[in-house]
Structure 1
């Protein structure tokens, strides 16, 4: 996983109040700033503003991280993201995802942290609640295409390439190229 992080605040109880201020600024302003790659995004320094806020919110935040327009990460208090990595436009992540170094993420990716319980046939699915929250881990040097869906608790190993619109519902070996619904091995990079 990522090696070098900026961590201006610890996780002491009082720090959560300070992080709440950064969250309000992120969701009230920075999430709405234009894409970092657009003329207006460059003019308003959108990438720098979102980065400055997120490095104060996330548990760990590496150097040269890009959080794009519309990215929703809940409270973000447990997120770890490594150097030179990013979250794509309009991505949705739970607040506990772990992302390594040099990870490229396309727009509109969606990470699930838990699922609905459904095994007890004597109760409606609605009344059974949810499964335990699981952490999704993304290794180093990973390319995640547009609109990829991650089921809870996936581990994406180093060097993996995930095709656009893939539903990642199982884990694969390092340097895999995967795609489809459900995800299947297309080839390897080795």
Structure 2
């Protein structure tokens, strides 16, 4: 059955109007959520799966309550997304890297790393538009990743980071 839901998602539902479109947005989002609840490993009360989101076969993907995946996001199938996570459009989480160690062989013939690191996004995070994350990032609780950031390392909880490569802008105040 999972394969049928995948076929329905990729063949039809991902092309429906944006979740924020007037009149047709909410029903389009509801259809996508219905399908991913039958595709992902586990789902909470998802708020948004916007149009053109890509998540491979989604087999090991987990998403918590009130979290969403923005328009045209690319999320590897083994990602864990916590609760209350806002993911804007065009976020790209890279799944793995190419091998490059043997200089006698062109990189295009060395293949990709066989180990696929897991990306974890903890609770209450905000991932801005066009963020690129390298494989295996762990975004800690309460973090904000600014739009256009290239995230190549991990930061502490409640960090606000931005830039290329990402650097700490400031810490959020815990109440």
- The correspondence for 1:154, drawn from 137, 141, 147, is 137
User: Do the aligned partners of 2:91 and 2:132 also contact (CA within 8 Å) in 1?
Assistant: yes
Q: What aligned pairs does 1:104-183 form with structure 2 within 5 A after superposition?
A: 104-131=86-113, 132-183=115-166
Structure 2 SS opposite 1:126: helix
Judging by fraction of residues, say which structure has more helix: 1
- Alpha-carbon RMSD across the aligned residues, in angstroms, is 1.0
Give the structure-2-normalised TM-score. 0.95
User: Do the aligned partners of 1:109 and 1:148 also contact (CA within 8 Å) in 2?
Assistant: yes
Is 1:188 aligned to residue 171 of structure 2? yes
The aligned counterpart of 2:64 is 82
Give the structure-1-normalised TM-score. 0.88
1:144 deviates by 0.4
Structure 2 SS opposite 1:185: strand
What is the total number of aligned residue pairs between the two structures?
A: 172
1:134-155 deviation digits (Å, cap 9, x = unpaired): 1100000000000000100000
Distance 2:4 2:118 in 1: 25
1:90-140 deviation digits (Å, cap 9, x = unpaired): 101111111000000110000111010111112111111111211100000
Distance 1:80 1:42 in 2: 24
The aligned counterpart of 1:38 is 21
- Unaligned 5+ segments in structure 2 are none
Give structure 1 regions of 4+ aligned residues with deviation exceeding 2 angstroms.
40-43
